[in-house]
Amino acid sequence: MKLENYILNYELIQNYNQPLILFLHGFMGRMEEFDTVTKVLKDDFSYLLIDLPGHGKTQVLGGNEYYTIQKTATAIIELIEKLKINQCYLVGYSMGGRLALYLTLHFPQYFSRVILESASPGLATETERTERINSDHQIAKKLSRCLSQADFSLFLSNWYRQPIFGSLQHHPEFQYMLENRLQNNPLELAKSLKFMGNGSQPSLWEILPQNQVPLLLLVGEYDEKFVQINQNMAQLCPVAQLQIISNATHNIHWENTSEFVHHLQCFLQQSSMF
């Protein structure tokens, strides 16, 4: 869809009279990121899937500021309004989870329940943000040097060897996931990382306690850093529930799809009880 500073690539899958879930993928993902989840959920919901700026077929027509979390959130709200969606559920993974939390805190009227997978409110201190920005810029430089498909493929292979992804590279669908990632443009990913990375976004820690939208926080049991972050989030936000998912690190919806779907269904079904 053509917006003022974007051409947003999206897919709206409408199942008759079923509530809508907006899914936001993580860094280097695309709108197909949650295919494993929607295949299990099937016709129980309707789905809005988006390629975020710097990813997939979405095009940024404005300057670099349109890769930021603030501008991206505004564009998503504009898309929702153009599609005449009054309210929906929201699910975000990692970078998409940070964006989902930003949307929840700044545009709460659009979202009835929100699921954050391996997400955070950003970094609390200026020192942490500066260190992370420097780190992200180094990674962005490596992405910018991926001048061929082989270069990008090697980058991805090294990326998913990081401990945060656990044994994801041994997943039976890992090759499919890599092929999907390879359809991204490394130069665009570099811009996304520089302008929407964890260090670049404003911290949401201070306003998190004010949130009134029910949150489900999902983290993998082996993702120790994010377990701690999400425990802190749950303590700060009275309407947040925390679930630690077994046999998973960062990418829960791939590593343990069945448990991810189970908690998603249980949480969203609670909204129909009131």
Q: What pLDDT, in 10s, does the model give residues 224-252?
A: 999 999 999 999 999 999 999 999 999 99
pLDDT at 74 over 70: yes
pLDDT at 273 over 50: no
Q: Spell out the residues 6+ positions from residue 63 whose beta carbon is closer than 8 angstroms to its own.
A: none
pLDDT tens digit string along 13-53? Answer: 999 899 999 999 999 999 999 999 999 999 999 999 999 99
**Cα 61 from chain centroid (whole Å):** 22
pLDDT tens digit string along 134-148? Answer: 999 999 999 999 999
C-alpha 269/C-alpha 216 separation (Å) is 12
104 confidence band (pLDDT: 50, 70, 90)? very high
Q: What is the residue-averaged pLDDT of the chain? A: 96
C-alpha 96/C-alpha 92 separation (Å) is 4
If you count DSSP H runs as helices and E runs as strands, how many of each does the chain have, helices first? 10, 9
- When pLDDT is averaged across residues 90-108 and rounded to a whole number, the result is 98
**Cα 121 from chain centroid (whole Å):** 12
Q: Is 162 exposed, middle or buried (0-12, 13-18, 19+ CB in 10 A)?
A: exposed
Q: Is 241 exposed, middle or buried (0-12, 13-18, 19+ CB in 10 A)?
A: middle
Q: Of all residues in the chain, what percent are helix, strand and coil, respectively (each to 5)?
A: 50, 15, 35
- When pLDDT is averaged across residues 169-188 and rounded to a whole number, the result is 93
Report which of 55, 81, 93 is spatially closest to residue 191, judged by C-alpha positions: 55
In this structure, how many other beta carbons lie within 10 angstroms of the beta carbon of residue 231?
Answer: 14
Range in 45-49, 98-102, 124-128, 208-212 the model is least confident about? 124-128
C-alpha 38/C-alpha 32 separation (Å) is 10
Strands 46-50 and 88-93, bridge-based pairing = unpaired
Q: What is the CATH T-level fold of the domain 6-273, as seen in this structure?
A: Rossmann fold (3.40.50)
Do 178 and 170 contact (CB within 8 A), yes or no? no
Which pLDDT score is estimated for 272? 54
Which pLDDT score is estimated for 2? 86
Look at 201 and 2; give whichever has higher pLDDT.
201
pLDDT at 271 over 90: no
